[in-house]
Structure 1
């Protein structure tokens, strides 16, 4: 998997809109707040969130809802071969996309089981029927499959508004942080254990991927957004500039406590029990547990980052299974703590 690094205002602005609207899952707020309590980036994002009106959130909810995430899904289609796209360029290229392109990228971040070229709106609606997303998000996708021109108009106007009103003070910090992170990531770029390659392996088949386009994002901070275009042997990964450094250092301080909290969350516990029976892929998990795609993706990301779950590719799907050795290790550490 060949790594390519880019600084893109369009990527960070998309991440910015997603981040200021979605301030973190409720079940993880305590853990996240401890990790980020002294973090300057998070303080800046929180200050901006406090300035958002109800109308601002309503507009952002349309394209940056965690389940449908239409804005991030469209990003690779807008960028195409322009990996350093500006905010202005993003708006121009979005407006230039044709209807089929808009439709085909609407499902870029879902667990849809088949490809869709965007030519037949009714075929797209049948895919929506199979998605494990809330009903209101399905209605939204139905609407935009019939009206792709509305996507271009509404998202373009929202992007220009957020850029001018909220993002501009972030701009210089975002560029400098992205450039510095790229220098870190360029160290040992051919290492098969490079953290970027390891992260991508958790969600894709490495044998199908030739290129990973990496976009450091100031606004994502410790998060990431991945678009798997493995049919074309390409992955686009927007990754927070503190994803590795802050996450690792904070977890090491209270490692055992943090790991136990990860394991004892009710939804993750149910997910682990399901995977204990046999490996499952993302869509199966969502269906079996009766939850949305974004909920499954969220909890899998946490379990994978702490090595409680492993991933493996079979045919054209990524399956997840329990890493019993790591769970036993953590239980053994707890036993030793109380036995001493």
Structure 2
């Protein structure tokens, strides 16, 4: 007996004032926003990686995006327009490896990366003796730094442009130093053709000031001087009289304005980076003209003439076909919702 399927429905919440498109005062264009979601089922670790990527893309992303396993790409695309979403970050898993697609909406291009290795944010934090995560760390978008992409190759130029446009632009003359708290670093190794993806927090420390004095000023706590003969003993006490970390001249900057109670304008401060994760090692596999479709501009194992190679992407395409067949057999839902909290 033939089975009748109900037409799929997508529920789009009305666009609130908070979700309206905002304009970047530097470029005059709308501020880029993103959706981070999965294509088909993901194992537990990759689900956590998806959550880490959503947190990394804050504040211009949907941290609590509600997705259904039956949602198709066109469902997300229909919602992207009213919400001002400009980029998709899509995670998928094949029998051999996980993949990350980064696409510009609504017409592409789409870059497909193979995730060679990855570490979750929680793993990075556990490996540190003194993890650091202030409450307002994700209040502003991170800075983006690209290294090693200036080889002149066309596919690397496209990669540079796409990643630069994922995050809002900054004006070095007007940007507030207090808003520069995170940095995303992408380093391309031309020998291995791999991209190291790192996420750091930025903090400044005044040069020549002991750690004990910094903590005293920052925490507003009255020090215990009962066992000291003189106040100078508090500063010159063994183990606290000098910095435990050497100040590198190359990593020092002169501040143009005050930053907190310790870092003052016209004084030198040391720039410290602390990794907060996630961490990934990516390999660029393919660049398509459209949104997960269209001619192939670049193929790692092909000639980039717009034709797909037969063997190199067979595993990725077969993995998606298997998910499609499984979803067709198990489709028991009348409608599908995509919501942003």
TM-score tier, shorter chain, comes to: under 0.3
**Structure with greater proportional helix content:** 1
**Structure with greater proportional strand content:** 2
Q: TM-score, with normalisation over the residues of structure 2?
A: 0.21
Instruction: Pick the structure with greater CA Rg.
Output: 2
* Relative contact order, higher structure (CA 8 A, sep 6+): 2
